[in-house]
């Protein structure tokens, strides 16, 4: 979890300057969606978290 927040701060919030709490929440939600569905991760064999989770579920079924 700490790694995720570190990535959020360095990859997204370093370039965004939200003016309100609502805008900040929107930025965080968009980042979480991108992180889970599009960001490939070396530790997950080059898969996104969503694909890795689906692969693991199919493999165990």
The domain of 19 spans 2-60
Task: Give bridge partners of residue 47 from the DSSP assignment.
Answer: 41
Q: What is the pLDDT of residues 19-55, one digit of tens each?
A: 999 999 999 999 999 988 888 888 888 888 888 888 8
Give 29's DSSP letter.
H
Report the number of distinct structural domains present in the chain.
Answer: 1
**At 41, is the secondary structure helix, strand, or coil?**
strand
In this structure, of 11-15, 26-30, 57-61, the range with the lowest mean pLDDT score is 57-61
* Neighbour tally for 47: CB within 10 Å: 16
Question: Is residue 13 helix, strand or coil?
Answer: helix
């Amino acid at each position: 979890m700490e790694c995720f927040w570190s990535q959020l701060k360095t990859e997204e919030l370093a370039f965004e300057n939200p003016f309100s709490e609502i805008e900040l929440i929107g930025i965080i939600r968009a980042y979480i969606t991108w992180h889970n569905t599009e960001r490939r991760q070396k530790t997950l064999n080059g898969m996104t978290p969503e694909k890795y989770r689906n692969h693991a579920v199919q493999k165990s079924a």
